[in-house]
Amino acid sequence: MRTLKRWSDIPPFASPQAEMDFWAQHTIDPALMDASLLKADNRESTTVTLRFDPRMLARIKRLARSRYLNYQSMVKQWLAERLEKEL
């Protein structure tokens, strides 16, 4: 049995039978399979990009400044509050 070390080693299959014959003679390297598993994100936060209308962003920044907050922190707080409400 041949062990596949790269995903690119898997060919396109013409039929389900061809795929079955291929997998009868091949296996995937456990390290390759382990690397493909989705792992939990251990970081405290993840960066995202949002696009705002410039006037809306200016209003958000002005409102945050009046509350002595960073506008990003205020938006994050708003999202957390709304998420709790939705759930």
Which pLDDT score is estimated for 36?
Answer: 81
Inter-residue contact 58 to 48 (CB < 8 Å) = no
Which pLDDT score is estimated for 12?
Answer: 94
Tell me if 6 is assigned to some domain: yes
Tell me if 45 is assigned to some domain: no
Tell me if 68 is assigned to some domain: yes
Q: What domain count does the chain have?
A: 2
Tell me if 48 is assigned to some domain: no
Inter-residue contact 63 to 38 (CB < 8 Å) = no
Could you list the pLDDT tens digit for every one of the 87 residues in the chain?
899 999 999 999 999 999 999 999 999 999 888 888 877 777 788 889 999 999 999 999 999 999 999 999 999 999 999 999 999
CA distance 80 to 86: 10
Tell me if 49 is assigned to some domain: no
Place of tokens 């696009």: 51
Tell me if 64 is assigned to some domain: yes
Tell me if 43 is assigned to some domain: no
CA distance 24 to 17: 11
Tell me if 58 is assigned to some domain: yes
- pTM here? 0.49
Domain that holds residue 79: 54-86
